[in-house]
Amino acid sequence: MANTTPGAASAPKPSSSVKLVLLGEAAVGKSSLVLRFVNNDFQENKEPTIGAAFLTQKISLPNRIIKFEIWDTAGQERFASLAPMYYRNAQAALVVYDLTKPTSLIKAKHWVAELQRQASPGIVIALVGNKLDLCTDAEGSGDAETAPSEGGGDAETGAEGAAADVEADTQTDNNARKVPKREAKAYAEEESLLFFETSAKTGSNVADVFTAIANSIPESSLKSGRGGGGGAAGATQAALSGAANRAEEARVNLGERGKVVKDNCAC
């Protein structure tokens, strides 16, 4: 007879908290990615994030439950100076860019460099190209890989080729992609980043990003990140960060008013 221990089959998995930060230019869809992951929802006209938003979500791995404590940072330049407060001690980061906006990839590379320079050693970074739903290319490559034909060919072949060219032009006109997948993927491989192209609108690949990150966190980081009361700690940290945001805005406003007074001074 098999030797079974009561309750062994239903023994709970160990749980670990992972601090994850989202960085990227404004309007690339960071908040929409988080909303899709946490609530499986999408809002067409989402308001811009002010400062940062804090959310949590769990992922169940075969041998562990990962609780993501997610900091969704604002992309506006005036909040950039606050970013270190959110990625400090983070074990993972999503650096997001917009597949339809090349400058957003440039900004993403800036954030990757800053994380590599100042964030915790061993942080897992995923480079994420969002708004895949706007890209009509079947494989998501965004690159034309057709070679020019050699020789004159017959009339039927020429007609088929012309028709194919017209169809290709139509697809290009309807394709909003401006960042080739090949380019971004090559950069991610060069910098040892996870790489995904996603659509927060359709949900494509969104869960895969967070699952890949959960599987990539070193065991040592998971152990050090374990602890109870994560929700309360997160709520407290969110409140403190909200106060920090308000203080920063007040400081900026005071500085601007002081500058005006100084400029008008007759002394």
Instruction: Look up the CATH number of the domain holding residue 23.
Output: 3.40.50.300
Res 185: pLDDT? 98
Question: Is 250 inside any structural domain?
Answer: no
Mean pLDDT for the stretch of residues 154-173: 45
Mean pLDDT for the stretch of residues 227-252: 48
- Which class for 215: exposed (0-12), middle (13-18), buried (19 or more C-beta within 10 A)? middle
Write out the two tokens for 233.
Answer: 């700690």
Q: Which domain holds residue 185?
A: 15-140+156-226
Mean pLDDT for the stretch of residues 180-209: 98
Of residues 116 and 235, which shows the higher confidence score? 116
Percent residues over pLDDT 70 in the chain? 66
Percent residues over pLDDT 90 in the chain? 55
Res 152: pLDDT? 42
Of residues 265 and 28, which shows the higher confidence score? 28
Question: Is 51 inside any structural domain?
Answer: yes
Question: Is 19 inside any structural domain?
Answer: yes
Q: Which of 179, 184, 183 shows the shortest CA–CA distance to 194?
A: 184
Residue 138: is its pLDDT beyond 50? Answer: no
pTM of the complete model:
0.71
Question: Is 238 inside any structural domain?
Answer: no
Predicted confidence band at 3 (pLDDT cuts at 50, 70, 90)?
low
Q: Which of 6-10, 158-162, 221-225 has the lowest mean pLDDT?
A: 158-162
The number of domains in the chain is 1
CA atoms lying within 13 Å on the CB side of residue 57: 18
pLDDT averaged over the chain?
78
